Structures are given as C-alpha cells and as structure tokens.
Chain A
C-alpha cells in the first residue's frame, strides 16, 4: 500500500524534489507517480508576533490579505501575554486560523480577497474550485466507484438547471442533520440550514491511493489510517526540506438567501448559486429532484493535519449575524436581526431541536412555523474570548468594505500535548468548542456530551471489520 508514498522517494528523486521546491503544487517528480502530499510553492509562515521581539504583535495590515495559506501554524509560548504560555500559543493558533480563512476564501481566479465582481467584492473561492477541493459526495460515490479529481459531477436531475458558476450540493443526511443526529437547524425564514464537507487534494489522494473510497477498499486496508501532514519548509536542513500542505478538510454551513426578500441582507454573506440535489430514497424522502437556491455562508470549519498537531488543528468561523451569546441575551444587548434568533420572541425555547419529522422537503422549507431560537453558550475561557475578539476586530478591519468583514473566528482547538502517550486527543485547548450552526445542540462544557472537535473526531472509525481508528475524520465512514 502506498500510505507513505510521499516518503518513498529514493536518492535519484531527492534532487528532483529539491529542484521542484518553489514550483507549482502539481509538479511531478522525475520518476515514479506524483506524491500524495507534494511540495508546495509557498507556505505562509507569518507568526502572530514579531520574530525579533515576541512581545510585539505582528502588524495586521492589508499585506496579510495576500500572504497565502499556512502549511502549519507558527506559534510560541512567548508572546504578548506575560507568564502565559497557554495564552500565547492560543493566540498563535488563532492568528494562523485567520490566515487560513483569508487564503481559502480568496477568489479562485487569483484576485485578492474582497476584490471579486460580486457584491462586497464577493467571488467564488479557492475552496469552491474543483481544482483545489472536492465535495464528499463526489468522493464517496454510489457502489464505491472510484472517484477522480477535478471532474464536475452533475446529477441528471440538475442538468436542466446547470450553468456556469453553479455549485452542486448533494443532500445526504449529513447535509441537514447535525452530528449524532441531533436534528436540523431552521433559520428565521423557516428554511433548513445546509451543510457540506470537502477535502483538499492531499487528503483525496490518500483516500484514492489506499482504496478508502469504498467499503470493500477499507476492508482490504490493514494499516493505520494516517493522513499526510502539513510541514513548513526548512532551509536549514541539509538538504533543505520543502513545505508540504498536508490534509485539509472543510465543513461549511449555509442558509437560503431569498434574492427578493433578503436583498438587503445578501451583501453581508458570501453567496453561491447552488443546485441542490435530492437523490431520493433511501438517501432522502424527497426526490430525485434538483432545485436552485442562492445560499449564504453562515459557518466554516477547517481541519488541518500538521506535523506538530497530528490530532489536527481545528478552526471555526461564523457569520456575525448568526446568534447572540448568552451574556448578551441576559443583558438584553440584542441586534434587530439574526439568522437563527428572534430578538422579539422573549419566550421562545432556546437551543431546542425542531419537532419531527425532520427529513427536508424539496422546497427546503420546514413544514411547521418552528424557527430555531439559538443562543451561543459560552464555554470558552474569558481570556480566550477577549483575545479572539481583539484579533477579530483587527482582521475584520483589513477586510472592511468586503463581504468578508461579516465573518468572525470563534477560536481554534489544538493539541497542547500532541505527543502524549496517555491522551490520544493530545489534551486539546480549549477543551470545548462549538459552532452555533454546526454543533447547535451540543454546546456546553459537559465532558463527551458537549462539542469538542478532537474528543468527537477522535472516535471516528473506518468501515473495516473490526473497525479501526480513521485519523480524526468521519469522512471514511461515508464510503459506500
């Protein structure tokens, strides 16, 4: 099996790899197949503090908008906070998360973020380009068929609606039901929120090369699942080692934007003209059918596997109008509009799942007048909330005037003891982390019941019999 194909290069190809350092990510070695995790042209290694003086913050200016995607975080126990190694590391990881968000959401045509032709400089993003990321539904195909990179799959039911620039979102249970089947999320217009999962090419290639895209392939795979890691380049080594991006997976959440009714709101969201495909039974009650909607991005998860964080680094962002937090509700400091909260409904039960049945109809409109009344439950330490708020203020300032100023980082979960031999989750910090659109009903601070990226994903398995750990991703359990 070619689980470590990126390492399986002989002396003859080392020089080729070094020669390629600085060229495009898709370059091939001069002999043998392309590595799963090839060298990348550039890794963004910007730290959160001045490398010459860790007590000074690195300036957050427009220059960061074109600084690129980090291959791994650059963090330090020394920083702006005296005698607080945990706080300094947290800030470093949160800074990395913002750089990642900017890089991923930059226009796929190479322009600077916020300089697209849409409202607020919006544009199709790097991660929406099939050159860079692949949706889960196009990897785990019916019958366990072998997927291919970059091909656009248009279901038959969607062909009549298809056109340039349209995004295709396939409705499986994961597209509307929150983790552990805790229920759908219904916005204040009565529409289902939709979710999608995507992966980058190194992650896809690992799945492809090891046959993990099918149940049968997973049954044959008797090694440990170990997705490729992101690594920064090191020119002090002999020979110098190139940067590698590693596996990245995304989970996005969307709300329906009505072009008429929501026209004043639309400019506050990154939007996508989307063809939503309902495959029909047994996957959805509705369908087979396809509808067209404008979707607005409301939540954005990034999971990035890196050398120093084999438990992955978990970043999560939300659109700023999603929900109030519990402190603001208690103090009656509310905005007039939220995506998932009605400020006028003082007695609406909060954070409650909708009444059953849950399967969405093809209209995506919830069949009763139920609307999710969601409040953010703050389970983050106060010092993390303050530090993230400060970073959000500065990064949103350099995105001002663009649609992207309407997004904020919640925080980043990372392993504080990645090499621990007694805690495979690596003692994550912060202990709990939830996105109100993606883990709506599991917010809180109860061990194993409340949302923690690593605690939850650490339980993910393959469909091998007997089951084996799947390296912190539930993607493999979707194979057919």
Chain B
C-alpha cells in the first residue's frame, strides 16, 4: 500500500485533472516532492549526525537519498515524520520529536531511517520494535533487505570508521599502507 503524502495526492490529482487543466498542476506535484525530499534530508541529517550538505550534496551523481526516501515512504508513518519535521522549530527538535515519539510506528521508523543511511540496509520498523520488546527474538538482527548495490557502497558506517565496505573501495592502490584521512573529512565537523 502506498503511503499517502501530499506529494502522492497532488500527483494523483494532477493525473486526473490533466485533461481538464493541462500541465499547470504538474509543477505543483514536483514542488511538493522537492519539499518532501528536503524535509527528509533535514531530518536524516539531524538523526544521523551527518551534515546535510555531505549527506545530500547539491551535485550528487549517486543521489542515494532518493532510494532511501522511496523505501521509507512505503511506511505508513512516513507522512507523519515529514509533518513533524516541517512543524518543528529546528532540526534538533524534529529529531527529538521523532526519536522519542510516544507512537512506536514513528520512533522506530526514525531508527529504520538511521540504519538505512548507515548500513545501506532496510530494517523494518516492526523488526526493530520486536528486538526492543520484553521477549525479543534471538539475535542476529537481520535486515529486511540491502536496499541496492549502490546503497551497500554508500553506507555511512564505513565512512565513520574511515574505511570502506567489503568488496568495494574508491581508494587507489597502496592506500592500506597510509593513515586514512581524518574523520572530519568523511563526515564534516562533528561534536
């Protein structure tokens, strides 16, 4: 079932009204989608601790945010976290309201989004909730899926560790004999 977002509603409205009013409504759908993406990136930066400009640079050939947005938007609580982010006075407040939300669907979706950015894998919110229950299933906690080959290579946990995923590296021959760049170079200025 597709989550209802303002973007989807506008897209559907545009599709059905196109013959009546032509393409005039389509830019509205694109603008709504852009706004939703911006909210998603703002929240993602706040909950991952990685600068938004690094998470989603202006010139972004891989555009991994789009893949994470797409998978997160399949969750019913997605609209809600976008609204929380939009209504919050600042990103830190948005992060707090999502991660400490009394509704489990919201707070665990926040955790799923963090794990998507860090691991390139999707852990369903209900999976994470089950592992935080009084009778959790035995470990390991397996992801629902690796989101894509690109997501596997873009996991932030590798960059925080100043290294690279198994089987993939952008580094040139002999890099292992030298110290990695400082952490700031990977994730920006951090606390």
A and B assemble together: yes
Are A423 and B58 also in contact (CB < 8 A) when A447-B149, A447-B150 are?
no
Inter-chain contacts of A427 with B (CB < 8 A): 61-62
The reply to whether B181 and A424 form a contact with Cβ atoms under 8 Å apart is: no
Within the complex, what minimum Cβ distance (angstroms) separates B54 from chain A? 10
Interface residues of A in 26-66 (CB under 8 A from B): none
Q: Which of A421, A431, A455 contacts B62 (CB under 8 A)? A: A431
The reply to whether B170 and A455 form a contact with Cβ atoms under 8 Å apart is: yes
- Closest B residue, CB atoms, query A455: B170
A85 CB–B CB distance under 8 Å: yes
B144 CB–A CB distance under 8 Å: no
Within the complex, what minimum Cβ distance (angstroms) separates A395 from chain B? 24
Complex CA distance for A85 and B170, rounded to whole angstroms: 24
- Closest B residue, CB atoms, query A466: B174
The reply to whether A467 and B61 form a contact with Cβ atoms under 8 Å apart is: no
Complex CA distance for A202 and B61, rounded to whole angstroms: 31
The reply to whether A422 and B149 form a contact with Cβ atoms under 8 Å apart is: no
The reply to whether A458 and B58 form a contact with Cβ atoms under 8 Å apart is: no
Are A431 and B173 also in contact (CB < 8 A) when A447-B150, A447-B153 are?
no
The reply to whether B174 and A467 form a contact with Cβ atoms under 8 Å apart is: yes
B69 CB–A CB distance under 8 Å: no
Please, what's the 1-or-0 string for B148-166, where 1 marks a CB less than 8 Å from any CB in chain A?
A: 0110110000010000000
Inter-chain contacts of B34 with A (CB < 8 A): 83
Inter-chain contacts of A447 with B (CB < 8 A): 149-150, 152-153, 168
A461 CB–B CB distance under 8 Å: yes
Within the complex, what minimum Cβ distance (angstroms) separates B62 from chain A? 6
Query: B interface, by DSSP: helix, strand, loop or mixed?
Result: loop
Interface residues of B in 52-70 (CB under 8 A from A): 57-62
A230 CB–B CB distance under 8 Å: no
Inter-chain contacts of B60 with A (CB < 8 A): 86, 416
The reply to whether A469 and B153 form a contact with Cβ atoms under 8 Å apart is: no
Within the complex, what minimum Cβ distance (angstroms) separates A333 from chain B? 27
Please, what's the 1-or-0 string for B27-63, where 1 marks a CB less than 8 Å from any CB in chain A?
A: 0000000100000000000000000000001111110
The reply to whether B170 and A423 form a contact with Cβ atoms under 8 Å apart is: yes
Complex CA distance for A426 and B178, rounded to whole angstroms: 19
The reply to whether B61 and A429 form a contact with Cβ atoms under 8 Å apart is: yes
The reply to whether B171 and A428 form a contact with Cβ atoms under 8 Å apart is: no
- Closest B residue, CB atoms, query A454: B170
A14 CB–B CB distance under 8 Å: no
The reply to whether B181 and A85 form a contact with Cβ atoms under 8 Å apart is: no
B167 CB–A CB distance under 8 Å: yes
Query: A interface, by DSSP: helix, strand, loop or mixed?
Result: loop
Complex CA distance for A258 and B152, rounded to whole angstroms: 48
Inter-chain contacts of A430 with B (CB < 8 A): 61
B185 CB–A CB distance under 8 Å: yes
Q: Which of B57, B61, B167, B186 contacts A428 (CB under 8 A)? A: B61
The reply to whether B174 and A77 form a contact with Cβ atoms under 8 Å apart is: no
Q: Which of B59, B153, B159 contacts A422 (CB under 8 A)? A: B159
B172 CB–A CB distance under 8 Å: yes
A468 CB–B CB distance under 8 Å: yes
The reply to whether B173 and A416 form a contact with Cβ atoms under 8 Å apart is: no
The reply to whether B172 and A469 form a contact with Cβ atoms under 8 Å apart is: yes
Q: Which of B59, B152, B159 contacts A89 (CB under 8 A)? A: B59
Q: Which of B152, B172, B186 contacts A458 (CB under 8 A)? A: B172
- Closest B residue, CB atoms, query A450: B149
The reply to whether A421 and B172 form a contact with Cβ atoms under 8 Å apart is: no
The reply to whether B172 and A448 form a contact with Cβ atoms under 8 Å apart is: no
Are A77 and B168 also in contact (CB < 8 A) when A422-B186, A447-B150, A468-B174 are?
no
The reply to whether A424 and B149 form a contact with Cβ atoms under 8 Å apart is: no
The reply to whether A424 and B171 form a contact with Cβ atoms under 8 Å apart is: yes
Interface residues of B in 106-156 (CB under 8 A from A): 149-150, 152-153
Complex CA distance for A461 and B173, rounded to whole angstroms: 7
Complex CA distance for A425 and B59, rounded to whole angstroms: 15
State the 9 A-B residue pairs at the shortest beta-carbon distance, nearest first. Answer: A429-B61, A469-B172, A421-B185, A421-B181, A447-B153, A461-B173, A423-B170, A416-B59, A425-B170
- Could you write out 13 A-B pairs with CB less than 8 Å apart? A89-B59, A416-B59, A421-B181, A422-B181, A424-B170, A424-B172, A427-B61, A430-B61, A445-B149, A445-B150, A460-B173, A469-B172, A469-B173
Other CB < 8 Å A-B pairs besides A422-B181, A424-B172, 11 of them?
Answer: A83-B34, A86-B59, A86-B60, A86-B61, A417-B57, A421-B181, A430-B61, A431-B150, A459-B173, A460-B173, A468-B174
